[in-house]
Structure 1
Amino acid sequence: MNYTEVKPGLKKNQGQTSKKPGLFSYYTRFKVLYLLSIPGIVYFLIFKYIPLTGSVMAFQDYSIFTGIWKSEWIGLANFRRMVEYADFWRIFKNTMAIGFYTLFFAFPIPILLALMMNELRNQVFKRFVQTAVYLPHFLSWVVVGGIVIEILNPTSGVVNYIVTLFGHEPIYFMGEDSYVRTIIVSSSVWRDAGWSTIIYLAAMSGINPDLYEAAQIDGASRWRQTFSITIPSILPTITILFLLQIGNFLDLGFERVFVFLNPLNNAHGDILDTYIYRVGLIQREYSYTTAIGLFKSVIGLILIVTANLFSKKTTGEGLY
């Protein structure tokens, strides 16, 4: 007759390490979530990761007739051509300037809009304002460009009508390169501020109302509640969006700038994206523009990794 020996004071199986579930059982447990993620994974594989193989064109004298695998390898010649081109650094400076202005001026505005709309108590008016600031996001840059150009028209534009009322001569805003950066950044704020505002409002809706009630009991004003409760609560969201903006610092978007460019303001408005379009698609310099695109990607990667490390050390928040 066999007996299982159990030490006094210990229950059976106590002290034994339970076997961890296998990888397959983990996937089985969350199979619905993984099935839902399949379309997104397929999208990124087809349109993001597979096209990365085309980056080898930056090191080739690419020909559409021989293809990627049979084109002649020329090493870093395209990169040397890029840095030796006199106008490249002017274009790079324009890109950096517009990117900095967008980050410095356009990024905080959705936060301010969200904080102001969060204080609105009339829900009907709040929804109206939210719709009004969000609606321009659905307009294409061609439409936005047409609206802005018409508003700034020197003969029939609203802005120049106000300028003439004060006794000044009409200003041809689109014909002076000193205004083009301001026009690009301002139009971006008008079009896209509502999109980020909704993200911040969603973050504010998740704040525990008990925090505000406790603050009111302690006699805190609305300003004090905003700076002590609202802003700290949405700080992780602000950090994530800021880091994503840093990653796209040089990726300003072709349509956003191209609709405002003309020969008179090209000196301060031409950026890397418009230069790539002009040289790559029109002049068919595929390898050269691929090198410029790879340069942009490397700079963006360095910026986002550096900003993420700095954010993790200072605020404890980051992308990864």
Structure 2
Amino acid sequence: MSTYRAVPGKPQTRGTPARKAKTARYPWLRNLKRDKYLLLLFLPCLLYYLIFKYGPIFGIVIAFKNYSLFQGIWASEWVGLKYFKLFIESPDFFPVLRNTFLLGFYKLVFGFPAPILLALLINEVRNAFLKRFVQTVSYLPHFISNVIVAGIIVMFLSPTGGLVNHVLEAIGLNKITFMVEPDWFRTIYVSSDIWQHIGWGTIIYLAALSAVDPQLYEASRIDGANRWKQTLHITLPGIAPAIVIILILDIGKILEIGFEKVFLLATPVTYGKADIISTYVYRVGLTNANYSYATAIDLFTGIISFLFILSANWFSRRVSDNSLW
């Protein structure tokens, strides 16, 4: 039974003195009680990352073992850096690494500025309905499955019934067999990736643009600045922190090219330009049930990506005030 008694003339508060003292000693308990419904909504996201992102980290130990399904992880023999050395000495190491890096580099060079330009253009539109329409249409492809996107690409670039080849033929040019020409693979992948994700990336920059103080534009117009100067001296500096953060994260993803679209678009004829680390891991490591080799390659890729992020963050911190940490 509670020993708390109300004092006449003083407002009554809920909770016993012991409970209130405990809450005062541990403020996080008060915050936990206050935000319990928000934390409940966050719980599925937390479970997703714990199960599918952090849980599998334990599996990287098999990169240093001769893993056998029958012996299990701990009973398998330790082999140290054997599979890392095997991958680096493989004749496929430099071609696969080159293809992955170039595909990620082209995606960064051409794909990173695209959402920024689209956000700036949408921001200049004064018609609210047209602005919402363009934004909605631009980010809808982000929700389309890569399987469907690959099918659309194959249909449009078909040498027999494809729209692109029909246009080339109509203007007097020869048809091109895009899907079996290795030199066209990177162009097809990068351009389709821009089309698929440009609208989704624009959402971040439009949110950053909404935080720019409108009074800065009014003051610049009084000083005689045109739209170009306003964009150069107000808009871009206003969204610079968002640009830098996204750029650093994208630099870290240069070697993490998505497996699905490359796997669906690549053919044995285009492997010279299309075979990247993820498809190589699938074909050599997983298809042949060499799990230790596949894990070693993935871990190697993760380490290189982490070094890219560290380098990009260090450089950003040296030349500007914006960085991840």
Does the residue aligned with 2:256 lie in a helix, a strand or coil?
coil
- C-alpha separation in 2, matches of 1:163 and 1:23: 75
Gap runs ≥5 in structure 1: 1-20
The runs of at least 4 consecutive aligned structure 1 residues that moved more than 6 Å come to none
1:158-181 CA-partner distances (Å, limit 9, x unpaired): 111121123222110001101001
Matched, 1:198 2:203: yes
1:123 corresponding residue in structure 2: 128
Matched letter for residue 54 of structure 1: G
RMSD: 1.7
For residue 77 of structure 1, report the CA deviation from its aligned partner: 1.0
Q: 1:23 to 1:247 in 2, by over 3 A?
A: farther
Residue 90 (structure 2) aligned to one of 62, 65, 85: 85
Identify which range, 40-49 or 126-135, moves more after superposition. Answer: 40-49
Matched, 1:159 2:161: no
1:8 corresponding residue in structure 2: none
Identify which range, 196-205 or 155-164, moves more after superposition. Answer: 155-164
Residue correspondences, number: 300
1:64 corresponding residue in structure 2: 69
Q: 1:150 to 1:23 in 2, by over 3 A?
A: farther
2:292 corresponding residue in structure 1: 287
Matches within 5 A, 1:1-320: 24-26=26-28, 28-29=30-31, 31-33=33-35, 36=39, 37-320=42-325
After TM superposition, the score normalised by the length of structure 1 is 0.90
User: Do the aligned partners of 2:185 and 2:273 also contact (CA within 8 Å) in 1?
Assistant: yes
Identify which range, 22-31 or 246-255, moves more after superposition. Answer: 22-31
User: Do the aligned partners of 2:168 and 2:175 also contact (CA within 8 Å) in 1?
Assistant: yes
Which is richer in helix? 2
Q: Percent identity?
A: 49
For residue 146 of structure 1, report the CA deviation from its aligned partner: 0.6
2:8 corresponding residue in structure 1: none
Matched letter for residue 128 of structure 1: F
For residue 47 of structure 1, report the CA deviation from its aligned partner: 2.1
User: Do the aligned partners of 2:157 and 2:165 also contact (CA within 8 Å) in 1?
Assistant: yes
User: Do the aligned partners of 2:259 and 2:278 also contact (CA within 8 Å) in 1?
Assistant: yes
1:5 corresponding residue in structure 2: none
Q: 1:220 to 1:23 in 2, by over 3 A?
A: farther
Matched letter for residue 201 of structure 1: L
- C-alpha separation in 2, matches of 1:53 and 1:228: 48
For residue 67 of structure 1, report the CA deviation from its aligned partner: 1.2
For residue 28 of structure 1, report the CA deviation from its aligned partner: 2.6
Gap runs ≥5 in structure 2: 1-22
- C-alpha separation in 1, matches of 2:272 and 2:92: 10
- C-alpha separation in 2, matches of 1:275 and 1:185: 20
Matched letter for residue 197 of structure 2: D
Does the residue aligned with 2:255 lie in a helix, a strand or coil?
coil
1:29-74 CA-partner distances (Å, limit 9, x unpaired): 4654576255444433322222111111111110111111111111
For residue 27 of structure 1, report the CA deviation from its aligned partner: 5.0
